[in-house]
Amino acid sequence: MATTKKAKKEEGDKPKKAKSSSKKKEKTEKAEPPPPEPEPSDPDAIQLFRRYDREKLGHITRDDFMQLLADYNASHPQRKWEMAPCALTDAAGIPLGFERTSRNSEFEAGQLFERYDTDRSGTLNLKEFHGFIRDFKKQLVPFVEELTSPRAFKHSGRPPPSFPLQDGPAWSTFEPHRRPPPPSTHQLFESRLEQLNTMCDNVLLPYRATLMERMSRRTDPALRWAPATAQTTKQQMELDQDIDLIDRITSSVHAKRYKGDHISSHEMHEFLDEFPHIYAAAEELAQKAKAMARPIAVYETPAMSDETTKLLRVKDQMIWDLLQERKELRHQRDALEHQLRDVTELSAQEMRKWAKLTDDMQAEIERLRRE
C-alpha cells in the first residue's frame, strides 16, 4: 500500500511541475513593453525654442543656434552680472581644448551645435534642444527671464532692446538681431566678375584700341619716321605685352560670363583665388591708360636735333625689321607645329592599322593551326 501511494504521489507531482513552468512562460510572454519616454516639457526650453525657431518649421537651424548664443553673450551695461559661457566641457566641467572666456568663440558654438544634433540632420528639434537646456539650465535661466521680462530695465539708460516690448508671448513677434550673412561663393564670384568686366569695357578695351592705333601708324610709310611716333625697343615690347595681357584678361572674363550658370564650383574658387593678381594687373594697365590719355603740353616735348632724328630713324628701321621678322618666324613656327601634329596623327593612324593587321594575321594563323 505504501509503495502504491508513493507511486501515485510521484505521478501526481509530475503534471504540477509542468503546469508551473507553463505559467511562468505565459507570464514572460505577456510582459508589457516599457512605457514610452515622456515628451520633454521644460517651459524655459519651449520658450527659447519658439523664439529662435524663426522659420516656424519646428526646428532650430545652425544660424538660429548661433544667434541664440550671440544674444546670450551680448554685453549689456545694465546687467549686474555676466553670463557664464556655455562652453563645450567634459564630465568634470573642464573645457575641451578651449580656454573658458567671457564669450563663446564661433568655433566652440559650432561644436555645441554638433554635440546636440544627435540625428545629424543639420537642425535641432525640440527634444534635442531640451538636452541643451538641461545641460546648461543654470546659465540659461537668467537669460530666459531677461528675454521674457524686457521691462526690468525700463528705469535705466538702456538702449531699446532688439525685441518688441509688448504684451503677449515674447516669441510671437521677436525677431533676433543678426548680422547679414556673408555672401555666398556664387554671389562673390558674380560681383568680382562684374567688377572685372566693367573695367574691361570702360578702360582696358579703349586702351587696347589706342595701342593698336599706335602700332598701325608704324605701318604707314608717311608716318613711320615721324619723330612723335619714335619708340625705343623696350617701349615697343611693353606695348606688345600690354596688348597680350589685355587680350588674356578680357577673353577670360568673357568666357566665364558666357558660361553663366553652367560654371562649376571648382572654376569659381579658382577664379576667386586668382582674382587679386588679375585685378592688380588690370589696375596697372588702367594707370598706364590714364597716363597715356593725359595731354602733353608743348613745352614738355623736347626739341630733337637733326642728328638725333637720323639715328632714331635708323634704329626704328632696325626695330621694325626685327618685329616683322619675329612675326614671320612665329607664323613659320605655328605652321611647323601644325604640320607636326598632322604627321603625328597620321603616324598614329598607321600604327593602329598595322596593329590591327597584325592581330588579324595572328588570329588567322591560330585558326589555320587548329584546322
How far apart, in Å, are the Cα atoms of 206 and each of 22, 198, 294? 100, 12, 14
pLDDT value at residue 333? 92
Instruction: Work out the mean pLDDT of the chain and round it to a whole number.
Output: 73
3-state SS assignment for residue 60: strand
> Which comes out higher in pLDDT, residue 331 or 227?
331
- Is the pLDDT at 305 greater than 90? The verdict is no
Compute and round to an integer the Cα radius of gyration of the chain. 42
- Is the pLDDT at 358 greater than 90? The verdict is yes
The alpha carbon of 143 is separated from its chain's Cα centroid by a whole number of angstroms, namely 34
* 203 secondary structure, DSSP code: I
Can you tell me the distance from the alpha carbon of 80 to that of 95, in angstroms, rounded to the nearest whole number? 25
Options 1.10.238.10, 2.60.40.10, 1.10.1580.10, 1.10.645.10; CATH of 43-148: 1.10.238.10
> Which comes out higher in pLDDT, residue 250 or 157?
250
Q: Kindly report which listed range (110-119, 135-144, 338-347) carries the lowest average pLDDT score.
A: 135-144
| Residue 62 in grid coordinates | 545652425
CA angle 324, 330, 334 (to 5 degrees): 150
Which residues neighbour 293 within 8 Å (Cβ) at sequence distance 6 or greater?
none
Write out the DSSP string of 56-83.
Answer: -SSSEEHHHHHHHHHHHH---TT-SS-P
* Cβ–Cβ < 8 Å for 181, 63: yes
Task: Over range 163-177, report the average pLDDT.
Answer: 43
Q: Which amino acid is at 191?
A: S
User: Quick count: other Cβ atoms within 10 Å of Cβ 285?
Assistant: 21
- Is the pLDDT at 278 greater than 60? The verdict is yes
pLDDT value at residue 268? 85
pTM > 0.75: no
- Is the pLDDT at 289 greater than 60? The verdict is yes
> Which comes out higher in pLDDT, residue 287 or 167?
287
Which residues neighbour 218 within 8 Å (Cβ) at sequence distance 6 or greater?
224, 229, 320
Percentage of the residues of the chain whose pLDDT score is greater than 70: 63
Task: Over range 333-339, report the average pLDDT.
Answer: 91
Can you tell me the distance from the alpha carbon of 268 to that of 256, in angstroms, rounded to the nearest whole number? 9
